[in-house]
Structure 1
Amino acid sequence: MLRITVLIENVTHGPLTCEHGLSLYLEYQGRAWLLDTGTSGAFVRNADALGLDLAAVEGAVLSHGHDDHAGGLPAFFARNTRAKVYARPAARGEYARDTADPAARPAGVDPALFERFEDRFDLADGPRTIAPGMHLVPDGVEHEQSLAVETERGLVVMNSCCHAGADVIVADLLEHFPGQKVYALVGGFHLVGKHGMGSLGKEPEVVTALSRRLTGELGVAEVHTGHCTGRPAFTLMEEASPGQIFHLNTGDVLVFP
């Protein structure tokens, strides 16, 4: 069984802290894992409030090299002295922020983080298995990777921003794992516009087509999305694929047998 707890996301409906970012706590085959750490250390406070032990985490995955996913790593390292962080080598690169604000700071991970905690990073590229049933698969964006976890219902795929395109990523994974299906896709889809979370970065018909392809042609039964998807795009997807599109919120728990 795979149990996913959303430690941090852009939205919360309860007392937990939220911020622009994403962090997921995974429990699988008796082990604890972490996917991303949000922008700050706020996910640590949420983990404490939920009774989740970050010191017990055996490994962490950095989905890509942006600070709203790696910003909480120092706080994680302060709580956990042993877990490796699996990232692609290009996660060390410098990346511009996708915004209309010309004064916005770069979006990449602070280079000093890799130097200070060099022994905590496992920077290898290419598809690899990090534990039985848990696989990292890179996509066409040089610093991005998906975490695919095997369950009884099929693969549960986590990719925090899907910069390469959510449908492209799923299609590639179906080729990489012949004979398997992607049961669920969890993460953001980078559909928000340059003017904030309330804006739409794609034409409405493009978003609608994406939703229908994911849940139709590609056979994804459940799509759990939020973060950089944005509310306008989420609404369009929900209308296009009713009963299959679910919004991620801080504190949510997803269970896959």
Structure 2
Amino acid sequence: MKIIVLMENSAQEGLICEHGLSFYLEYRGGRYLLDAGECGAVLYNASKLGVDLSQVDKAVLSHGHYDHADGFSAFFRVNSAAPVYARPRITDPEIWAEKEYIGINMGMFCRHEKRFDLAEGPRDLADGLHLIPDRVKHEQSLVAETAEGLVVFNSCCHAGVVDILAQLKERFSGQPIRAVLGGFHLMGKGGTSTLGPAPEKVRAMAAALRDDLKVKDIYTGHCTGAPAYALLQEELGDRLHHLTAGAVYEFAD
């Protein structure tokens, strides 16, 4: 299994960064895109990284926020066939009631509605590759079974990374969690330079990932935020890796 980070809040030299997230996956002969960032710059990074998005077989939208969804408008310009698998409530206005609207661009969605495959999970994209909904009504995890254990993607973990992984470990009984990749939504209201929860809660989360769930490697960034990442680093040491556009990770299928 090969993973290339196409978009993230930070980027390797020569690539574009934005407040968004996008992963390209090659898994057991299939090519997949998870999220597409916020503005279409994913096309530039993909080209620089040698990723041909026209050859993607299936795409996934992790949840209905603009910084993961709106880049699909650009993706559709270069890929005319791949369906985008998402939960049906990604466009539900009840989700955004009395909040600042940070949802999917509805103009984009209406123009390309036929490209979205909206159904409630769990669903299998391929043998060993699963979409599992969580308790946030528009969010889902992408879970890959590998020879090393489960590799889990949950782009923002609004339901809480520990709860998400605990439920997945119960569902996939007997399989260890090899890695988790995504943002942990620990930033404060002031953005990625601020801390949302109390420091002790971040440390407790790190301890649960390390000691209870025994996750071998944790790859995070995006909405985790710099202060929370620093706290996680203190607790997790070399288990923790910072996501950045251009990074490549591989796991044995």
Shift >4 Å, 4+ stretches: none
- 2:121 alignment partner, SS class: coil
Partner residue, 1:155: 150
Partner residue, 2:41: 42
Contact 2:202-2:231 at 8 Å conserved across structures = yes
2:6 is aligned with 1:7: yes
2:202 is aligned with 1:202: no
- Give, in whole Å, the separation in 2 of the partners of 1:112 and 1:50: 29
C-alpha RMSD of the superposition: 1.5
Whichever residue aligns with residue 40 of structure 1, its letter is C
Contact 1:3-1:26 at 8 Å conserved across structures = yes
Partner residue, 1:115: 110
2:135 is aligned with 1:136: no
Task: Tell me the alpha carbon deviations over residues 156-209 of structure 1, each in whole angstroms, 9 at most, x when there is no partner.
Answer: 000100000000000010111111111100000000000111100010010011
Query: Which of 168, 173, 177 is the aligned partner of 1:173?
Result: 168
- Give, in whole Å, the separation in 2 of the partners of 1:43 and 1:117: 18
Contact 1:65-1:93 at 8 Å conserved across structures = no
Task: Tell me the alpha carbon deviations over residues 113-163 of structure 1, each in whole angstroms, 9 at most, x when there is no partner.
Answer: 332112211101021111111000000000000000011110100010000
The alignment of Structure 1 onto Structure 2 pairs a total of residues equal to 251
Whichever residue aligns with residue 80 of structure 1, its letter is N
Contact 2:183-2:222 at 8 Å conserved across structures = yes
- 1:184 alignment partner, SS class: strand
Whichever residue aligns with residue 219 of structure 1, its letter is K
TM, length-normalised to structure 1: 0.95
Contact 2:19-2:37 at 8 Å conserved across structures = yes
Partner residue, 1:244: 239
2:17 is aligned with 1:18: yes
Partner residue, 1:32: 31
Whichever residue aligns with residue 8 of structure 2, its letter is E
- Give, in whole Å, the separation in 2 of the partners of 1:105 and 1:42: 24
- 1:171 alignment partner, SS class: helix
